[in-house]
């Protein structure tokens, strides 16, 4: 639901010389939502985020937060805060002084800024490590310190640029759950840039898929996954077949494709056991590849091998037509 404190991009364009990094993008970010900007490298995600933060100038367009155009304001006066991929902690300052840094810049006295920093360190579970230097922290701890430092400015919108990419896979999954929990507790808008579809699906209330400097599709995570509008979104979000049959071009989820008595003819090209599913790849008429993720018990009731002729089907209402 729209509130008076949403963030709105209105025809925002970013050009670097002749490169159009962001092309007249408009989008409403609902207050209090967790939004992931998802897309391949170079599609304009970071430029969009940096323009919202004020770390990059806006070539054209408006950025409205709580009813006010913030596009020309300095970063510290926008009501936004940014957490960088590298965390950008000051190496010679303790965790507490890193977190308190922006308050020091504002001239707030030491006792008060340490009190506020300690509250945030408590929020991110870092109280015991407040006197350490960044080099004495693990990757996950550095990230918590960077989060606390961004949050001390009491932003209405927290901007996170690939915040999990520096972490190993195990920690990444742990920290993404913490980010989500923190966002729920704080109730502020998080805008999180990622090129990982799993990460976006796990975190986002809304996924904004970007491609070639524009928004290709935006919507709730389940909607984007279940009903991709374009071939690009279907391929990028993963788990889908993009097929062109005489009746038109469409996407169908790989786990909706079943071995059947009738349906599209295919020759099995590979079979891979994946635990819960068996991944069966086939080739259909017109040399089109198709992937079926078949529940393992169903598959082993009537197993297939490469070279076998099979018929594959799916429920008609699970095939989503794609825009050109
Ligand atoms: P993403 O975050 O999706 O990888 P970016 O916003 O970083 O995409 O980049 C979008 C496009 O703008 C790319 O073509 C990139 O090369 C270009 N670009 C980004 N930053 C600059 C810059 N400072 N100068 C020139 N071109 C840039």
Q: Is the pLDDT of residue 122 over 70?
A: yes
Number of domains in the chain: 2
Both 245 and 213 in one domain: the answer is no
Quote the ligand 1 centre to 44 CA distance (angstroms). 6
- Which among 8, 6, 155 is positioned nearest to 78, based on CA atoms? 155
- Which among 213, 239, 243 is positioned nearest to 231, based on CA atoms? 243
Among 25-34, 192-201, 239-248, whose mean pLDDT is lowest? 239-248
pLDDT of residue 324: 73
Task: Indicate whether 233 belongs to any domain.
Answer: no
Quote the ligand 1 centre to 40 CA distance (angstroms). 11
Task: Indicate whether 2 belongs to any domain.
Answer: no
Quote the ligand 1 centre to 58 CA distance (angstroms). 14
Give the separation between CA 258 and CA 255, rounded to whole angstroms.
8
pLDDT of residue 79: 95
Atom 25 of ligand 1, nearest CA residue:
16
Q: Which of 194, 226, 258 is the last residue of a domain?
A: 226
Question: Which atom of ligand 1 has the smallest separation from the CA of 50?
Answer: 6
Quote the ligand 1 centre to 19 CA distance (angstroms). 8
Both 154 and 190 in one domain: the answer is yes
Residues 203-231 have a mean pLDDT of: 96
Task: Indicate whether 48 belongs to any domain.
Answer: yes
Quote the ligand 1 centre to 287 CA distance (angstroms). 36
Residues with C-beta less than 6 Å from any ligand 1 atom = 16, 19, 21, 39, 41-47
**What domain range is 214 assigned to?**
7-226
Both 11 and 50 in one domain: the answer is yes
pLDDT of residue 293: 97
Both 108 and 249 in one domain: the answer is no
Q: Give the mutation target among 13, 16, 17 for probing the ligand 1 site: most ligand atoms within 8 A of CB.
A: 16
Mean pLDDT score of the chain, rounded to an integer? 94
Question: In CATH, what number is assigned to the domain containing residue 28?
Answer: 3.40.50.300
Phi/psi of residue 309, each to 5°? -90, 130
Q: Write down how long the chain is.
A: 324
Q: Which of 174, 199, 226 is the last residue of a domain?
A: 226
pLDDT of residue 1: 64
Q: Is the pLDDT of residue 247 over 80?
A: no
Q: Give the mutation target among 18, 19, 192, 210 for probing the ligand 1 site: most ligand atoms within 8 A of CB.
A: 19
Q: Is the pLDDT of residue 71 over 80?
A: yes
Q: What is the pLDDT of residues 77-108, one digit of tens each?
A: 999 999 987 778 999 999 999 999 999 988 99
Q: Give the mutation target among 45, 47, 59, 161 for probing the ligand 1 site: most ligand atoms within 8 A of CB.
A: 47
Both 41 and 134 in one domain: the answer is yes
């Amino acid at each position: 639901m729209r509130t008076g404190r949403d963030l709105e991009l209105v025809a925002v364009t970013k050009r670097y010389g002749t490169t159009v990094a962001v092309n007249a993008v408009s989008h409403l970010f609902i207050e209090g939502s967790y939004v992931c900007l998802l897309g391949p490298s170079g599609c304009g995600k970071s430029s969009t985020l940096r323009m919202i933060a004020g770390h990059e100038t806006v070539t054209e367009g408006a950025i409205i937060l709580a009813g006010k155009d913030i596009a020309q304001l300095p970063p510290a006066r926008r009501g936004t805060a940014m957490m960088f991929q590298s965390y950008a902690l000051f190496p010679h300052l303790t965790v507490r002084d890193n977190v308190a840094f922006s308050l020091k810049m504002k001239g707030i006295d030491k006792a008060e800024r340490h009190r506020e920093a300690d509250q945030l360190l408590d929020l991110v579970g870092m109280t015991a490590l407040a006197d350490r230097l960044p080099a004495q922290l693990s990757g996950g701890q550095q990230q918590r310190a960077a989060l606390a430092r961004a949050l001390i400015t009491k932003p209405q919108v927290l901007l996170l640029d690939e915040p999990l990419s520096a972490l190993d896979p195990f920690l990444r999954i742990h920290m993404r759950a913490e980010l989500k929990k923190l966002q729920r507790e704080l109730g502020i808008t998080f805008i999180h840039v990622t090129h990982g579809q799993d990460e976006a699906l796990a975190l986002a209330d809304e996924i904004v898929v970007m491609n070639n400097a524009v928004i290709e599709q935006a919507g709730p995570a389940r909607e984007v996954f279940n009903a991709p509008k374009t071939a690009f979104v279907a391929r990028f979000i993963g788990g889908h077949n993009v097929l062109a049959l005489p009746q038109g071009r469409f996407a169908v989820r790989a786990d909706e494709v079943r071995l059947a008595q009738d349906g599209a003819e295919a020759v099995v090209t590979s079979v891979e056991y994946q635990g819960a599913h068996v991944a069966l790849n086939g080739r259909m008429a017109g040399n089109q590849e198709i992937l079926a993720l078949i529940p393992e018990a169903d598959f082993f009731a009537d197993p297939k091998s490469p070279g076998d002729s099979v018929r594959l089907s799916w429920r008609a209402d699970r095939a989503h037509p794609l825009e050109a």
